[in-house]
Amino acid sequence: MNKPLGPLRTPFDTPPAPGTATEVAPGILWIRLPLPMVLDHVNVFALDDGDGWTLVDTGMFSRRSRALWEDILAGPLVGKPVRRVIVTHHHPDHIGCAGWFQSAHGAELLTTRTAWLMARMLTFDEQALPAPETLAFWTRAGMDPEILAQRAAERPFNFADIVAPMPLGFTRLQEGDRIHAGGRDWDIHIGHGHAPEHATLWSTDGALVLGGDQLLSTISPNIGVYATEPEADPLSEWLESCTRLQAYATEDQLVLPGHKLPFTGLPIRLRQLIENHHNALPRLRAFLAEKPRSAPDCFPLLFKRKITGDTYGLALVEAVAHLNHLRATGQADFTLRADGVRLWHAVATEAPAAPAPAQAP
């Protein structure tokens, strides 16, 4: 069956149940692990190397995940060892169990240098309360004062809570590398924007793409700015990556993504991911031309729905990313309100010069 996902299609109606696996191609198993958030799952893939397995991503490090992994190792993975773990990017739902597979199972870790450095650094950066720099970032971004006061008094999200300690040592993946796993050769292409140095794997036979969060079907990856780099412009990096990856995409490739269902139709999906932001930016600039706005003021225009609960933080960092992009491209700037909140306004840009009149013959 080839079920439609709008202009995309999937050969799979339902994901594998917890503790089970679905074969999506010869020698490649799709496994789904639960997440304790609105996006309640992550996809991981096991590639059969004959005498062992290569995993692509791992899920968060929790008692539930470890128990599921023990069931999976004894069941769908038929007791063969995990010899390698490939991590697409440093986010906890992808790298969470990598250190555990290294220390408890002797697996080799393959990932990009930035992903490894970010994850290892963040596992050591444990905080009982938000850092002053984080509070200042939230204030400048215009976080709702009640939410800010609540977060200021609570233990923040810490990598160490859901990412296993990561021992020294990894094998670097970088643009243009080729590796062998699951009976196939895979070319490495790097994306940016959702996460720095995000690895994607493209089988050289043209059949499969392991896309992580860089290539998702029915949701758009979060493009966010954080206190770690408050003036960053990840949206420029995202648009550049999607444009560059179009050169490798074909209609028939089966994309194995980090979330949701595997799909075909990648050229269309990359165009959608680009156009989604290209269409939003002019509307955002026009919105800022009406009067100065804070980042939360822009939520209705950017997201077209009420933002509440767990989605507030993700919406805030994505709104800041769009505003930072307009500033980086000379289309917007900000002033500081008395309470320290950035109020954004459109900047007049020069109209392109009119073409010279045609000369009479």
Per-residue pLDDT tens for 155-168? 999 999 999 999 99
By residue range, what is the domain housing residue 85?
Answer: 3-275
Q: What is the pTM of this model?
A: 0.93
Q: Is 39 helix (H, G, I), strand (E, B) or coil?
A: coil
Amino acid at 63: R
Distances (CA, A) of 157 to 5, 56, 160: 33, 24, 9
Is 356 within a domain?
A: no
Residues 125 and 242 both lie in one domain:
yes
- Tokens in use for 16? 């594998």
Name the average pLDDT for the chain: 94
Residues 130 and 216 both lie in one domain:
yes
Tell me the per-residue pLDDT of 86-132, one tens digit each, with 9 for 90 and over.
999 999 999 999 999 999 999 999 999 999 999 999 999 999 999 99
User: Residue 34 above 90 pLDDT?
Assistant: yes
Residues 89 and 229 both lie in one domain:
yes
Q: Which of 213, 243, 275 is the last residue of a domain?
A: 275
244: exposed, middle or buried (Cβ count in 10 Å: 0-12, 13-18, 19+) = middle
Residues 259 and 295 both lie in one domain:
no
Residues 229 and 305 both lie in one domain:
no
Helix axes 266-290 and 234-245, enclosed angle (nearest 10):
150
Q: Which of 248, 275, 302 is the last residue of a domain?
A: 275
CA pair distance 347, 256, nearest whole angstrom: 41
Is 215 within a domain?
A: yes
Amino acid at 90: H
Is 280 within a domain?
A: no
